[in-house]
Amino acid sequence: MTALAPGGHVDEARRYVLESRIATGGMGEVWSARDTVLDRSVAVKVLKTEYADDALFRQRFETEARHAAALQHPGIASVYDYGASSLDDGSSTPRPYLVMELVEGQPLSALLRPDAPLDPEVARDLLAQAAEALGVAHAGGIVHRDVKPANLLVTPDRRVKVTDFGIARAAEGMALTQTGEVMGTPAYISPEQAEGGTATAASDVYSLGVVAFECLAGRKPFVADSPVATAVAHLRNPVPDLPGSVPADLAGVVRRALSKDPSARFADGAAFARALREPSSAAAATVVAPVVAPVVADGTQVMAAPPTPAQPVAAAPRERRTRPAMPWGLFVGIAAILLAVLVAIWLGSRDTDPTSADEQTPARTPSQSSETPRETPTETPTETPTETPTETPTETEPEPTTVEVDPASYVGRDHKDVEKELRDLGLRPEKAELENPGDQVEGVVTAVDPSGTLEEGDAVTVTFYGKPPKDAPPAPGQEGQQ
């Protein structure tokens, strides 16, 4: 990639003038710039050429930029603008750029030093601020996917701002080892992301838990010789102990955030923030959270769950797609009913029981036959209790399994991949092909309906663009594919 230079522009309208480079990362460069229209300082992130060459990435990145721009919180760096143009660097391919709030400060990564832990109370405050900001995004249905110290900006007055929302999601599907930042930076990646699974709010909690460990221990919990080996360590290796200087309640909160099983962590950033602010209340109840590690058997990854030490609990984690367990009281009730049935059968099998017969048929006259009272006890107790156990389980049948469908996770992707993921969730995808005006990428999903909380087996319509007309020019980014 040809280097950008101060005084250059990132847009054809020449609105944003680059002033000085702030940082360079795996996905591009961040510059301090001047918005000449509004006369204010901004930060401009210019993405690498390999992303510019991917039309699907550009479309997804634009969608994610809109979602990120909708987030309004003091702890989230605001997104002002998005675009793609031929830059003043000699490249011919239009490159995407993102215009953001310029935060006065430095990334948390610049404050961390090897073997030099932060003061636990300082770390607690910074991490709680980051967790609260992530909680706002989670409440809006947005998952960051790449939480790491470089994306947590700290101002001189120790205010934290989270940045780079949406970039990791837009880049999903590219190889993990291509840049080391696609599915999440390996040193901070959650186990489910390392396995290629869908990132959730609990995934962000895990990544922030890794950041917390680094702040408190002066080192990352998992480091290996390669990005892939580091990702595997998150899956297999137990979490190391924090130094004895870390308060026990705070250490317990961090350990829970680093649970291998997403359902054993805090449900979202807001729950994590509450536990960080008041770890003593989180310690009121403890759980033994399983450490889930993959075991390769016949080429298939399965999950094993060895026990780990008890961990403080701030709030019961939200679990999806689980069925309620049968209550203990129901077992006792069924046992009592079965005992009653056995007693009734025993009574009915006796040859004669005049006392029992008289009690069951007090209205009978002396002129009735002697066989009548013998039939009554055998019919009455056997019919009544046998209906009860068949009805009781019906009343406690578990609710249908539900799944969450976030349209932002699918819009802008190839419809075949989306349909497969929906089928894996237990849904029934139905195709709806749109007429392609000629400037759209074939097969790109434009909508998924319905969305939100659905039940397994529900039908979901996947709308996507069909083939463009034969005489239409190629869609942007596909010129070299014709």
Domain with residue 260: its CATH number is 1.10.510.10
Please determine, for residue 40, whether its predicted confidence score (pLDDT) is greater than 50: yes
Q: In this structure, is residue 319 part of a structural domain?
A: no
Pick the more confident residue, 351 or 111. Answer: 111
| 115 and 63 within one domain | no
**Residue where a domain stops, chosen among 280, 313, 346:** 313
Per residue in 85-109, pLDDT tens? 776 555 667 788 889 999 998 999 9
Q: How far is CA 312 from the centre of its chain?
A: 22
Q: In this structure, is residue 227 part of a structural domain?
A: yes
Q: Output the pLDDT for position 173.
A: 47
| 461 and 349 within one domain | no
| Most confidently predicted of 128-137, 191-200, 469-478 | 128-137
Q: Output the pLDDT for position 474.
A: 63
Per residue in 148-173, pLDDT tens? 999 999 999 999 999 987 665 655 54
| 383 and 414 within one domain | no
Q: In this structure, is residue 294 part of a structural domain?
A: yes
Q: How many domains does the chain have?
A: 4
Please determine, for residue 394, whether its predicted confidence score (pLDDT) is greater than 70: no
Phi/psi for 323 (5° steps) reads -105, 140
**Residue where a domain stops, chosen among 101, 126, 150:** 101
| 380 and 302 within one domain | no
Structural domain including 22 reads 16-101
Q: In this structure, is residue 165 part of a structural domain?
A: yes
**Mean pLDDT, all residues of the chain:** 75
Q: Output the pLDDT for position 339.
A: 66
Please give the average per-residue pLDDT across 438-444, as a whole number: 82
Q: Output the pLDDT for position 68.
A: 81
| 253 and 140 within one domain | yes
| 165 and 292 within one domain | yes
Residues that are catalytic: 146
Contact (Cβ atoms closer than 8 angstroms) between residue 210 and residue 152: no
| 279 and 226 within one domain | yes
Please determine, for residue 314, whether its predicted confidence score (pLDDT) is greater than 70: no
| 146 and 63 within one domain | no
Q: Output the pLDDT for position 472.
A: 66
The domain that holds 452 is classified in CATH as: 3.30.10.20
Q: In this structure, is residue 5 part of a structural domain?
A: no
| 286 and 196 within one domain | yes
Sheet holding 95-101, edge to edge: 16-24, 28-35, 40-47, 95-101, 79-85
- The percent of residues in the chain predicted with pLDDT above 70, rounded, is 65
The domain that holds 80 is classified in CATH as: 3.30.200.20
| 173 and 285 within one domain | yes
Confidence band, pLDDT 50/70/90 cuts, at residue 408: confident
**Residue where a domain stops, chosen among 61, 80, 101:** 101
Confidence band, pLDDT 50/70/90 cuts, at residue 389: very low
Residue 86's contacts (CB-CB under 8 Å, 6 or more residues apart) are 12, 92, 93, 94, 95
Q: How far is CA 210 from the centre of its chain?
A: 16
Please give the average per-residue pLDDT across 396-422, as a whole number: 79
CA distance readout (Å), 253 to 234, 248, 285, 288, 315? 18, 9, 12, 13, 11
| 155 and 284 within one domain | yes
| 196 and 287 within one domain | yes
The predicted model scores a pTM of 0.57
Q: In this structure, is residue 10 part of a structural domain?
A: no
d(CA 256, CA 282): 11
User: Which of 196-205, 391-400, 412-421 is the least confident region?
Assistant: 391-400
Please determine, for residue 316, whether its predicted confidence score (pLDDT) is greater than 50: no
User: Which of 239-248, 273-282, 392-401, 465-474 is the least confident region?
Assistant: 392-401
Confidence band, pLDDT 50/70/90 cuts, at residue 281: low
DSSP letters along 373-416, please?
Answer: HHHHHHHHHHHHHHHHHHHHHHHTPPPPPEEEE-GGGTTTSBHH
| Most confidently predicted of 78-82, 395-399, 467-471 | 78-82
Please determine, for residue 228, whether its predicted confidence score (pLDDT) is greater than 60: yes
Please determine, for residue 34, whether its predicted confidence score (pLDDT) is greater than 60: yes
Q: In this structure, is residue 367 part of a structural domain?
A: no
Q: Output the pLDDT for position 41.
A: 95
d(CA 429, CA 459): 6
Q: In this structure, is residue 1 part of a structural domain?
A: no
